[in-house]
Amino acid sequence: MGNAQLDKFIQDAKELCQPSRVHICDGSQEEYEALCKQMVASGTLTELNPKKRPNSFLARSTKEDVARIEGCTYICSEKQIDAGPTNNWCDPAEMRAKLLSLFKGSMRGRTMYVIPYSMGPLGSKIAHIGVEITDSPYVVVSMRIMTRMGKEVLDVLNNERFVPGLHSVGAPLQPGEKDVPWPCHPKEKYIVHFPEKREIWSFGSGYGGNALLGKKCFALRIASVMAREQGWMAEHMLILGITNPQGEKKYIAAAFPSACGKTNLAMLTPTLPGWKVETVGDDICWMKFGPDGRLYAINPEAGFFGVAPGTSMQSNPNALLTLKENSLFTNVGLTDDKDVWWEGLTSQPPSHLIDWLGQDWTPNSNEKAAHPNARFTAPAAQCPVIDRAWQDPRGVPISAIIFGGRRSSVVPLIYESFDWNHGVFVGASTSSETTAAASGEMGKLRHDPFAMLPFCGYNMGDYFAHWLKIGGMTTPDKLPKIYYVNWFRKGKNGEWLWPGFGENSRVLAWIFARTSNRAKGQKTPIGIIPAEGELNLEGMNLPPENLKELFSIDLKSWREEAEGLRKYFEIFGDRLPEKIKAELKGLEERLNA
Ligand code: OXD
Ligand code: MN
């Protein structure tokens, strides 16, 4: 094989986990089909109606294995302070001992799959390679959609270092024991990162971000550590291309916490005539400086792992069209003609289906047909609005960065930061009402700096400092402008003030104008908002009182917001950069002026 690190990784995993077989994945179509067939036979997958959704399958997990589990996710840095106050930490030696005992014999009776994969286009200077070892064929087929994987990666790996990830569902089989459709460990779950060693160990869960180690574990947690060391950025951001009616094009990256509409924004169909939005990525963005001093971004992934409920031909037609074939669905409903259904897909639910738990379901059922965090996994190349440059190894130049979250009050529809440092403060101040993407209470407001709270592989205070440092690595005119948006503000009667979806193109158009010096904007204590008439609302029928409320900046609420931030930032102690403290002070002063 020619890579000593890989040989050792495989050998050590084999000795530890004691699988029955080892399979090195070549990434071929034949391999994919054979694994799907095997999983249909074992009951893990149900083949969907090939006339309706060719080459597509449904998986149902167990009730307990439905989302990322942040409480079981660890950053095991040598020193606790380097994991910071927002991550779970455990002494690395202690954790390693624990993991060694859990993984011992954990693959007995199963096949151990070795998945070499590239995050990003093969050969791109922005891309990096990982190898996941897993005992889950569901993970293998998912990784084939979500990454570039198989032989072609081994061909470019040579003696380069890669990020190893060892994953086991933690359900060894006794000789003759029949497997269950969704093997996982009933109790013990660990998603562990050793940042100094750049290693990932994941035990007990077969679901999404816990098990597809290229995604959150590598492309965000470990990559954020690498990015800090090497002077680049690994971010929880979508990337979109936007073209104005004159044919000028720009690229924008946007960070929102999980299940806040990143996929919808990335694939948006503009309601503004003549505008076009194209998709580079919907979840993760790696940015490095190009020779011209600008930040260039790639989407390290090759597929979309999106939240299904709420996705419809109205909310996101491009996502639905992406899913028309070659897709995997997890925890959605199965209709009587063997297609998929989830809440929000159609206004009229089917009169009968099998729900995500495998039970009969009718519209009268008390339960949901699909789990709120049910997912689709689909190849990005199938997206009708995939950007021409989405696989460009050079990446795409970023003109603007957007932060946002779900805030039913206080935060206006959009504001721009005064400069980069203020923008870093704005990113650090991101907070959002929680969703079903992670287990835990829903709808609770939590601070989620840069939408990276569950994904930063080191001390979040140092991460703020890294962002500030990036701002000093080029000239201010080369840096993206920074924005904060809130599509989710509600009026007094609890109704949404802004329709969102395609209408968000109006907000993007203002960003486009600002980054081209074609809009003046209006200064407020919190940042720059569109000056009167700058937000194009033509043909929209937005009630004037909604517009007023969308941009109202209530000083009292903002003083409370600043107070809440001051309190929150205390958790970072002396790792909170002075410049962030200065920005907070500046905000307070402007609010009290
Ligand atoms: C995701 C998440 O799956 O953020 O993208 O949870
Ligand atoms: Mn995400």
Residue bearing the CA closest to ligand 1, atom 4: 258
Q: Is residue 25 among the annotated active site residues? A: no
Quickly state the pLDDT bin for 435 (edges 50, 70, 90).
Answer: confident
- Distance (Å) from CA 236 to ligand 2 centroid: 6
- Distance (Å) from CA 249 to ligand 2 centroid: 26
Q: Please compute the mean of the pLDDT values over residues 356-367 and round it to a whole number.
A: 97
Q: Please compute the mean of the pLDDT values over residues 77-102 and round it to a whole number.
A: 98
For 458-473, the pLDDT digits (tens) are: 999 999 999 999 999 9
Identify which of 258, 373, 406, 450 to mutate to test ligand 1's pocket (most ligand atoms within 8 A of the CB): 258
- The DSSP code sequence of 538-576 is TT----HHHHHHHT---HHHHHHHHHHHHHHHGGGGGGS
Q: Are 593 and 555 in contact (CB under 8 A)?
A: no
- Distance (Å) from CA 534 to ligand 2 centroid: 32
Q: Please compute the mean of the pLDDT values over residues 303-307 and round it to a whole number.
A: 96
Confidence at residue 440, expressed as pLDDT on a 0 to 100 scale? 76
354 CB-near residues (< 8 Å, 6+ apart): 333, 334, 360, 361
- Would you say the CB of residue 283 lies under 6 angstroms from ligand 1? yes
| Closest residue by Cα to residue 141 from 377, 445, 466 | 377
Quickly state the pLDDT bin for 1 (edges 50, 70, 90).
Answer: low
CA distances to 31, 79, 80, 480, 580 from 534, rounded to whole Å, are 54, 50, 48, 20, 30
| Ligand having the closest approach to the CA of 69 | 1
Q: Phi/psi zone of residue 427: left (φ > 0), alpha (ψ -120 to 50 degrees), beta?
A: alpha
- 248-252 long-range contacts, Cβ below 8 Å, gap at least 24? 248/516, 250/399, 250/400, 250/512, 250/515, 250/516, 251/280, 251/297, 251/396, 251/397, 251/398, 251/399, 252/398, 252/399, 252/400, 252/401, 252/402, 252/508, 252/511
Query: What is the Cα–Cα distance from 493 to 480, expressed in whole angstroms?
Result: 37
- Would you say the CB of residue 129 lies under 6 angstroms from ligand 1? no
- Would you say the CB of residue 373 lies under 6 angstroms from ligand 1? no
- Which atom of ligand 1 is the closest one to the Cα of 67? 6
Q: Global pTM? A: 0.97
- Which atom of ligand 1 is the closest one to the Cα of 236? 4
Among the options 25, 36, 260, 456, which is catalytic?
Answer: 260
Q: Please compute the mean of the pLDDT values over residues 355-382 and round it to a whole number.
A: 97
